[in-house]
Amino acid sequence: MKKVVQVTLVCLAIFASYIFYKIYFSDTDKIIMEQETLNDQLNQKTENNLIKNLKYEIKLNQNNQYIITSDLSELVYINNNEIVKMQKVKAVIIGQDNIPLVIISDNAEYNKINHNTKFRNNVIITYMSNKIFSDKLDLNVKNNLAKIFENVRYVGENGKITSDNIKINLLTKKIDIYMNDEFNKVKVNKN
């Protein structure tokens, strides 16, 4: 009987030592669980920055309005500025004449502070019966300028124009068409 009690006490001591070791000295499970929790939190934080069907309506002044929408957007901070990275973008600028200038692109970066927008990839600008196609468009809201560049093609009722750059004054609708190299000529094809 004495031996049974001694064997039971030794087994109990070994079991207690094993439990004590697992609780106080084995941190691998705890570290793995903490890493998984941290990864889940990071994924949720990234997903929380994604917004579907985002729309901004900005009244620039009494007569001008800027509306921009996107299918999918992500909020990011660059140099303490909140930037909205957008996909499948449509922007409408309505001026004093109430004729909309429509900009469509695959991607855009919208600055929430100054409303400047960089449109990228498959940019299409439509104004009345005129269309401009390009790879990039930078919209400067403060200066009321749109700079269209890289693979610029204009198509209108009177013909087609190919150039490096087009600048549009959004207030006056004045258009400057020019090349990067002054020795190259703007190509004009009349209908």
Q: What is the pLDDT of residues 49-62, one digit of tens each?
A: 788 898 988 887 77
3-7, 38-42, 162-166, range with greatest mean pLDDT? 162-166
Closest by CA to 187, choosing from 167, 162, 153, is 162
pLDDT at 94 over 70: yes
Residues whose CB is less than 8 angstroms from the CB of residue 99 and which lie 6 or more positions away in sequence, other chains included: 127, 128
Q: How confident is the model over 17-35, as pLDDT tens digits?
A: 777 666 666 554 444 444 5
Contact between 64 and 93 under an 8 Å Cβ cutoff? The reply is yes
End-to-end distance of the chain based on CA atoms, in angstroms?
Answer: 113
Average pLDDT score, the chain: 82
Contact between 179 and 164 under an 8 Å Cβ cutoff? The reply is yes
Architecture of domain 52-190: Sandwich (2.60)
How far is the C-alpha of 174 from the C-alpha of 159, rounded, in Å?
18
Tokens of 77: 């901070």
The residues spanned by each domain of the chain are 2-47, 52-190
Residue 136: pLDDT band (50, 70, 90) is very high
Q: Point out which residues pair with 119 in neighbouring strands.
A: 108, 137
Mean pLDDT, range 137-148, rounded to an integer: 92
Tell me if the pTM is above 0.85.
no
Q: How confident is the model over 120-134, as pLDDT tens digits?
A: 999 999 988 889 999
Mean pLDDT, range 125-152, rounded to an integer: 92
